[in-house]
Amino acid sequence: MGLLKTKDGTDISYKDWGSGQPIVFHHGWPLSSDDWDAQMLYFLGKGYRVIAHDRRGHGRSSQTATGHDMDTYAADFAELAGALDLRNAIHIGHSTGGGEAARYVAQYGRDRVAKLVLIGAVPPIMVKTAANPAGLPIEVLDSLRSQLAANRSEFYWNFPIPFYGFNRKGAAVSEAVRVNWWRQSMMGGAKAQYDCIKAFSETDFTEDLKRIDVPTLVMHGDDDQIVPIADSALLSIKLLKNGSLKIYENYPHGMCTTQADIVNADLLDFIKS
C-alpha cells in the first residue's frame, strides 16, 4: 500500500499495481479499495495499470473529522493523480465512488482522463427536492444516520442483504461476501461514514455531468435497492454529452461482486472500444 499525504495532512492509502494504461477505481460507501479486488486482479492480468485508493476516513486512510464532502474527495484524488502522474486514465466509480469520479473528471480531468464508467452511481442527485421530486425522502437518509450512530456494527451486518440482493426470492446469502462487506466498513471511521451519507445523497452532480465530454458508460442494475435506477442512471444519461447506458436485468447494487465476470467483460469491451 502507498500513502499520499495531502495538503491538509490527511494520509490517503492507495494501491498501484502493474504498468500500461491506468484504470482508476473509486469505491462506494462505506467500503474501501478492497471492494475492487475482482476488477483489479482481472485488469492487471489484462496488462493494465490498476489504481484504487481508500477515500479519506475510509479503509486505511486517515480517519479525519472533516473534509467529508465531494469537493474534498475530488481534490484529494487530484493530488494523488498528480503524484502518480496519471494520464490517459479510465476512471470507474461505483455508487458514491461514481459521484467522486464524476466530480473529479469534471473539475480536474481535462488533460488526464480518457474514459469514465459510472456503475450503480449516485449522480445526478439522490435526495428528494423540489427539483428532484422522485428522489429519496430525507427521512430515509436520516434513518441511515440514526442506525449508524446507534449500532454501526449491527447496521453494517444487515446492510449487505439488500446491497447484494440477498433478500430476493431464490437468492442464496454468501456469508463470505457479507463478512467482507462488514470487515471493510468497520475499518473506516464512524464520523467519516456518517458525514458521507450527506455527501453521497445531497450533492447535486448535474453540472458535473453536463461538463464531462469523454466517452462515459453508465451501468446499472434494474433491481438496485440502494441507488434506484429511475432516479440515477436514467437521468444521468440524459445529461452526458458522450454517454451510453447499459441496464442489467435483475442485477443488484453490488453487481461488481455478484456478477463480476459479466461486469468485467463489459468493462473491457468499453475500454477497448
Question: Is there a catalytic annotation at residue 224?
Answer: yes
Which residue type sits at 17?
W
Between CA 120 and CA 246 the distance in angstroms is 11
Q: Which of 27, 58, 68, 253 is catalytic?
A: 253
Which sign does the torsion angle of CA 58, 218, 141, 161 carry?
Answer: negative
Three-state DSSP class for 217? strand
- The per-type count for the chain, helices as H runs and strands as E runs, is 12, 8
Q: Yes or no: say if 124 and 236 are a contact pair by the CB < 8 Å rule.
A: yes
In the beta sheet, which residues pair with residue 4?
Answer: 12
Per annotation, catalytic residue among 95, 185, 232, 236 = 95
Nearest-angstrom CA–CA distance, 231 and 178: 26
With beta carbons less than 8 A apart as the criterion, state whether 215 and 186 touch.
Answer: no
Q: Is 76 a catalytic residue?
A: no
Q: Which of 34, 195, 224, 231 is catalytic?
A: 224
Q: Which residues are catalytic?
A: 95, 224, 253
